[in-house]
Chain A
Amino acid sequence: MKRLLCLWVNNLPENSIDALKAIAAWCKHFSPLVGIDPALFPQSVLLDITNVVHLFGSEERLLEKVADELRIQGWQLRLAAASTPGAAWALAKHGVKEVVRGRWPVGSTQYPVTSNKTSPLSPSPLSSLPITALRLPEPIVVLLHSLGVGRIDQLEALPRRELTSRFGPELLDCLDRVTGKLPEPLPAWNPPPRFQARWSAEFPTTRRETIEAALEYLVRRLAAMLTQADRGAMRLECLLTCLEGEPLQVVVGLFRPTAWANHLVQLLQVRFESLQLPAPVESICLEAVATVPLELRQRELFGEEQPRGEVHHLPGLIDRLSTRLGHTSVMRVRLIPDAQPELACHYVPLVERGMRPVIKLASKSPLGAHLPHIPRPLRLLHQPVRLPNGIEGSFSYAGQQHRVARHWGPERIETGWWRGRTVARDYYRIETTAGRRYWVFRRLPTGPCFLHGMFD
């Protein structure tokens, strides 16, 4: 015999599936099978308590315990147990008059517990509920109300055969699902798995070797968990609790998800090389805070579980570089269609702070589109350097006199007034008598000259 418990949450924040999930995850203490479905069973969490009641003594004791503990967390609940999910929900939503706030009176008969022995026609707690408890479509509810049918027992009194012809098959289906004539599954939900491993020292230590060995052990455990779930870590968080002071946190972001222990060990070691330990370490907690499903790939039959193919070497390199140098130091390039040379190119970190995996270095865009038509220097100065004597015939830069042999240009670059400071420049490429090439500009209309880059 099936028994289902429904928790109807009265003070649920609007559209908050997360709060519902949190309650559901917590309810895993009581039942291995927990269900949520905001569309079918709004504002509620369902528990299959079929074979767990004896663990708590009685059904009433179980309900009391659930209600008590969730009330401490600040939730206002109505609870009901019944033999179908629909009936449990109907009773929880409509059966209990007042929202449970205070302590539930022990042993009171207020629990609207239906036994499965009650037949639909005999007076059951369901009979006196309004028809909206059946989760009927809106038009049918309106029609039934206009006919003066407001409660379930009134509906059940009507001849079944004629209900279908008048209201369509949906009405009877809804009714039968609640009474158990038609099966209705529990929308089971499982919390996402947490990948976490802990190690605590018997004696707090500052020895690097011990800590590194512990770390490697943790990574191997974590990697085994990840491999089993076929997920790859995108972000690792390692928390070191020391004897004194704040715990140290080390975060490692990855370019491509992986569950390969050796690679993760390498990345963590790179970070630990530069880590100062303020006090002996008591315990280490390693968690993969962001994971994504791993793509399927062929593994080696023997030996190391190392990804095959040379393609995987680049993500490894990017991970190592980003971990040691910082994620803003390893970047790809995005060209921007902007006339101002300084703004025509953006750097984008390859390992993003967000937890989205960056699979490709960059999207394939039509290359010619944003490419300037006129040569650009390979070296662009951070700040243009003013050339005091102009560029007529010769100019001096960094203590050296350069004589201009040729020049190409001007290439006029002007930006719109809407961008704040207007930029208006005439760019020239200059070749000196020695054959060196420079990029200079004159600020318009007849302003000073600046050196902006070198064609190195």
Chain B
Amino acid sequence: MIVSNLDGQYRRIESLREQIATWEGGGLPRADVGGSPSWRKVSALSTGCPALDRVLPENGFRRGTLIEWIGRGEGDGATTLAFRAAAGGAAAGGARDGGAVVVLDRSGEFYPPAAIRLGIEPARLVVVHPANKPDYGWALDQALRCPAVAAVIAWPDSPENRPGKKSLGWLDSHTFRRLQLAVERGGGVGMLIRPYAVRSEPSWADVRLLVEPLPSVGPYGRSRRMCVVVLRCRGGRGEQTVEVEIDDETPALPVG
């Protein structure tokens, strides 16, 4: 008796959650976007960290969405986590196998060997160096819109990503919305790495994550620890905090 009652409650919660998802327009195929593009049927993209996967609905990032990684400044590990997730998206993914990873690097300080160590195949890596702000926005939009791109990694706020300079915070709401529409067309995942200052600004991203570095433990400290706070997640369960541990020492080589 009690068991069936619990079961009914569970089902009710699930149906309510589905309704919310339908209203919010994500996840389920919609009629107004021209049928259901093939990428919508593909499962979510794993974050590369099982602990983080567990707290996200659908156990990962939805395709065709923007993900915000809010970091704590230099050396915090937010970019590392973004690249790990992007590597998983480019390598696996069934029908979308062979997607490119586009890095929009404006400062010119991005160091590709590190990304390749995190599992991004060199053959799929495209590095773009836009020279100025309008070009950066345009290139980001183009890359997100392209169906052959599995993931885009961008630093939309920090054109002068140097210590001491205040973030220009130019990713305004209009541009943000446009980027979100672009990624919905393309079906990849847009990783936006943003500074701590924007954590309370409005967002069009599907998931907003705050990454805080943690000191490593153990005698050798082989694994790197970070605290990831899910600040916002559509269809999720409110703010949640997980501790993430990643192995920094072993290069992630793609299978085969």
Binding site for B on A (CB under 8 A): 310-314, 316-318, 320-321, 324-326, 329-335, 341, 344-345, 347, 350, 360-365, 367-368, 371-382, 397-400, 405-406, 408, 431-438, 453-456
Contact = CB atoms under 8 A, between A and B. Distances in A.
B126 A361 contact: yes
Contact of A456 (B74, B121, B146): B74
Nearest to B139: A321
Q: Which 10 pairs show the lowest CB-CB distances between chains A and B?
A: A435-B213, A398-B163, A436-B75, A314-B148, A380-B111, A456-B79, A313-B148, A376-B114, A317-B146, A333-B112
A377 B127 contact: no
A329 B129 contact: yes
Interface of B: 71-80, 83, 98, 100, 108-117, 121-131, 135, 138-139, 142-143, 146-149, 163-164, 193, 212-216, 221, 224-226, 248-249, 251, 253-254
Contact of B111 (A329, A345, A367): A345
Given A325-B129, A335-B116, A367-B122, A435 B226 contact: yes
A325 B83 contact: no
Contacts of A347: 127
B121 A367 contact: yes
A78 to B, nearest CB: 57
A318 B249 CA distance: 34
Contacts of A330: 126-129
Main SS at interface, chain A: mixed
A356 B119 CA distance: 30
A408 B124 CA distance: 31
A362 B123 contact: yes
A138 B130 CA distance: 64
A320 B50 CA distance: 37
A371 B128 CA distance: 22
Given A325-B130, A333-B116, A434-B215, A379 B135 contact: no
A434 B213 contact: yes
Contacts of A380: 109-111
Given A325-B135, A435-B216, A456-B75, A378 B115 contact: yes
A455 B108 CA distance: 15
Contacts of A326: 131
Given A325-B135, A333-B122, A378-B80, 14 more contacts: A318-B126, A324-B138, A341-B111, A347-B127, A371-B113, A376-B117, A377-B111, A379-B79, A382-B108, A397-B163, A398-B163, A408-B221, A436-B72, A438-B74
A314 B149 contact: yes
A378 B148 contact: no
B193 to A, nearest CB: 8
B215 A435 contact: yes
A397 B215 CA distance: 19
29 contacts: A314-B149, A317-B146, A318-B126, A326-B131, A329-B129, A330-B128, A333-B122, A333-B125, A335-B122, A361-B123, A361-B125, A362-B122, A365-B122, A371-B253, A372-B113, A376-B111, A376-B114, A377-B111, A379-B111, A380-B109, A382-B109, A405-B215, A406-B216, A434-B213, A435-B216, A436-B75, A437-B75, A454-B75, A456-B75
Nearest to B39: A310
A321 B164 CA distance: 31
A399 B75 contact: no
A332 B125 contact: yes
A360 B126 CA distance: 12
A317 B149 contact: yes
B253 to A, nearest CB: 6
A456 B117 CA distance: 14
Contacts of A334: 122
Contacts of A311: 98, 148
B127 A331 contact: yes
A435 B74 contact: no
Contacts of B83: 378
Given A317-B142, A360-B123, A434-B215, A454 B74 contact: yes
A374 B221 CA distance: 14
A331 B103 CA distance: 10
A436 B213 contact: yes
A72 B155 CA distance: 64
Contacts of B131: 325-326, 329
B148 A376 contact: no
Contacts of A406: 215-216, 221
B121 A378 contact: no
A375 B250 CA distance: 8
Contacts of B146: 313-314, 316-317
B191 to A, nearest CB: 12
B254 A367 contact: yes
Contact of A455 (B75, B115, B127, B148): B75
Most interface-central of A334, A344, A400, A435 (chain B CB within 10 A):
A435
Contacts of A408: 221
B155 to A, nearest CB: 10
Nearest to B121: A367
Contacts of B122: 332-335, 362, 365, 367
A325 B128 contact: yes
B112 A345 contact: yes
B218 to A, nearest CB: 10
B123 A364 contact: yes
Contacts of A454: 74-75
A453 B100 CA distance: 26
A364 to B, nearest CB: 7
Most interface-central of B108, B121, B142, B148 (chain A CB within 10 A):
B148
Contact of A317 (B124, B143, B226): B143
